[in-house]
């Protein structure tokens, strides 16, 4: 039985490169035609965009008419429990070889899992190499990245790419993309929010909270400066982590709108 057909192994269609904003050069993540870069580990902090990028590259292949597998580590563990016989394993690995790309997300889930589960993951990695199917692992918790273990990764050749924290410009683009002309969101507000460090979800939450703040109904937001928004709405309170920097110079750049 093809157990992959029992699971959802397709990426989120809403997560594409069109709405992925990161000025970091990620060309190394894309598998090359010569199969030199067949095994890549993409890691970053929670909210850094690992899942978005994995879904984006898978959706790109699907758009080109290729077959891909996007699957989470949780589903890999579930699959392991389903495979009972040698025939089950053979059919599973045969199915893997029929795809152009394999992306396994949430690898941090394997942290402190049993040896048999980790061994199954490495069987998939080794088989992908033999079948010449590019494979990308995504890890959204650098503290639970099992690929950092030299003992586990001994003998495996791979490329590691770590996502950096989004710049204020990247965050500005994310927020701008969420706004429509009907929302009438002042650009100064987007500048003020994007100046703070934090996860994208925190920036979006801040934008939504201020967008529907009662104070905006009694003042003219278009007349407010970046400093006014900062002071009136205490934007810093939406970002509980310590702020080591604020991007005042970047806030005054004319970001492409």
The highest-level CATH class for domain 3-162 is alpha beta
Q: Decide which of 4 and 213 is more confident.
A: 213
Percentage with pLDDT > 70 across the chain: 90
- List beta partners, residue 23: none
pTM above 0.85, yes or no: no
Neighbours of 85 (CB within 10 A): 8
User: How do residues 121-177 score in pLDDT, each as one tens digit?
Assistant: 999 999 998 898 999 999 999 899 998 888 888 888 888 889 888 888 989 999 998
Residue 41: exposed, middle, or buried by beta-carbon count in 10 A (0-12, 13-18, 19+)? buried
Q: Is 113 buried (19+), middle (13-18) or exposed (0-12) by CB count in 10 A?
A: middle
Q: How far is CA 218 from CA 192, 212, 213, 221, 245, in A?
A: 20, 12, 10, 9, 32
Domain residue spans of the chain: 3-162, 168-251
pLDDT-derived band at 2 (thresholds 50, 70, 90) equals low
pLDDT at 27 (0 to 100)? 78
Does position 7 have pLDDT exceeding 90, yes or no?
no
Residues near 165 by beta carbon (within 8 Å), at least 6 away in sequence: 45, 48, 197
- Which tokens hold the place of 238? 């939406």
CA 157 to chain CA centroid, Å, is: 23
The answer to whether the beta carbons of residues 190 and 235 sit under 8 Å apart is no
pLDDT confidence tier of residue 112, bands split at 50, 70 and 90: confident
């Amino acid at each position: 039985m093809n157990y992959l057909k029992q699971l959802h192994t397709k990426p989120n269609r809403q997560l594409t490169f069109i709405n992925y904003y990161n000025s970091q050069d990620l060309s190394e993540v894309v598998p090359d035609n010569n199969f030199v870069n067949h095994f890549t580990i993409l890691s970053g902090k929670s909210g850094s965009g690992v899942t978005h990028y994995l879904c984006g590259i898978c959706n790109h292949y699907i758009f080109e008419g290729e077959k891909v597998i996007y699957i989470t580590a949780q589903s890999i563990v579930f699959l392991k429990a389903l495979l009972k016989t040698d025939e089950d394993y053979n059919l599973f690995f045969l199915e893997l070889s029929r795809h152009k790309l394999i992306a396994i997300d949430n690898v941090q889930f394997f942290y402190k899992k049993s040896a048999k589960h980790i061994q199954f993951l490495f069987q998939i990695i080794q088989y992908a190499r033999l079948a010449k199917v590019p494979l990308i692992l995504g890890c959204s918790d650098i503290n639970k990245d099992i690929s950092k273990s030299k003992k586990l990764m001994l003998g495996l050749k791979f490329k590691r790419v770590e996502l950096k924290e989004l710049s204020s410009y990247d965050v500005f683009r994310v927020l701008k993309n969420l706004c429509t002309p009907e929302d009438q969101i002042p650009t100064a507000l987007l500048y003020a929010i994007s100046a703070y460090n934090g996860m994208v979800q925190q920036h979006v939450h801040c934008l939504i909270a201020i967008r529907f703040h009662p104070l905006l109904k009694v003042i003219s937001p278009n007349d407010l400066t970046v400093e006014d928004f900062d002071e009136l709405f205490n934007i810093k309170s939406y970002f509980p982590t310590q702020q080591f920097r604020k991007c005042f110079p970047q806030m005054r750049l004319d970001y492409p709108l």
